Amino acid sequence: MRVVLAEDLFLLRDGLVRLLEAYDFEIAAAVDNGPELARALTELKPDVAVVDVRLPPSFTDEGLQAALHARRETPGLPVLVLSQHVEQLYAGELLADGSGGVGYLLKDRVFDADQFIDAVRRVAAGGTAMDPQVISQLLARNARDEPLGRLTPREREVLELMAEGRSNAAIAQRLVITERAVTKHTSNIFGKLRLPPSDDDNRRVLAVLAYLNGT
């Protein structure tokens, strides 16, 4: 799988290259600034891009802008955005086109190699990987939402993991329950939030995120 990587800190870029290579990813390009990233994204058409939000030369949100721009040109181009901080505002912008293949994680998540690689693969496959902090912020903001208030604690846990973009199998493993139980919780959640049911994992995640972002 071909990856374009954009990170301006040498140590972190180097570490990410080694990590990705260790998991059999092919590094198509590893760049350290915005303009080069924009070029790499359009010319190399990678299977997935791992991008730092803040990049030279302006040290503003160059990376994010380049990623958003590339996704407008190539809808669904898988992009995993890394940042030193997560903001719902940016998450909303990444999710706005509703086409999936989006990830938004804190840089700390790189520490847990297995989880991080899982997230990269999920995004590359058209899924989602949202940082748990984004989800907890979303839920805190929806604290007064009535349908959400009707969820049981277990359903809430399932909802959080689902919103992060995890598959039913992964949720089952994490909560130490059967996949059947997860399916049951999921259908309850969709019923309570009045969302149209769907068998497709990715579509389900996007529906839940849209719900949380919308209210």
Partner 1 sequence: MTVKAGLLAAVRGFTVAVLSMAVSLAHYILVTVSIALIPIGIGVLTTPVLMQSARAQLNMRRRISDEWFGVEVAVPYRKEPRFQGGVIGQAQRCQWMLRDPATWRDLLWMFIDPSVGFTLGILPLALIGEGVYGFVLAAGVWKPVYDAGGGEWYGFIHVTSQTSAFMAAGLGIVFLATGLRFGPAITRGQALVARALLGPNHERELELRVERLTETRSDALDTSAAELRRIERDLHDGAQARLVAMGMSLGAVERLMERDPERAKLLLAQARESSAMALHELRDLVRGIHPPVLAERGLGDAVRALALRIPIRTEVTVELSGRADAPVEAAAYFAVSETLANAAKHSGAEQIWIDIRHEGGMLRIAVVDDGQGGADLERGTGLRGVERRLGTFDGVLALSSPPGGPTMVTMELPCVLSSPKTSSS
The residues that touch partner 1, with contacts defined as CB under 8 A, are 34-35, 37-38, 53-54, 58-62, 65-66, 68-69, 83-85, 87-89, 92, 107-108, 111, 137, 140-144
- Residue placing its CB nearer to partner 1 in the complex, 18 or 85: 85
Give me the least distance between CB of 7 and partner 1, in Å please.
Answer: 16
- Residue placing its CB nearer to partner 1 in the complex, 107 or 204: 107
Give me the least distance between CB of 79 and partner 1, in Å please.
Answer: 14
| Contact predicate 150/125, CB 8 Å | no
> Which amino acid, residue 124?
A
- Residue placing its CB nearer to partner 1 in the complex, 67 or 159: 67
CB atoms within 10 A of CB 190: 18
| Contact predicate 164/86, CB 8 Å | no
Give me the least distance between CB of 11 and partner 1, in Å please.
Answer: 14
- Residue placing its CB nearer to partner 1 in the complex, 196 or 214: 214
Q: Which residue has the tokens 């689902």?
A: 162
- Residue placing its CB nearer to partner 1 in the complex, 87 or 179: 87
Give me the least distance between CB of 137 and partner 1, in Å please.
Answer: 7
Which has the closest alpha carbon to 55: 103, 102, 5? Answer: 5
Measured CA to CA, the distance from residue 192 to residue 149 in angstroms comes to 10
Give me the least distance between CB of 208 and partner 1, in Å please.
Answer: 17
Contacts of 56 (CB under 8 A, 6+ apart): 8, 32, 33, 34, 62
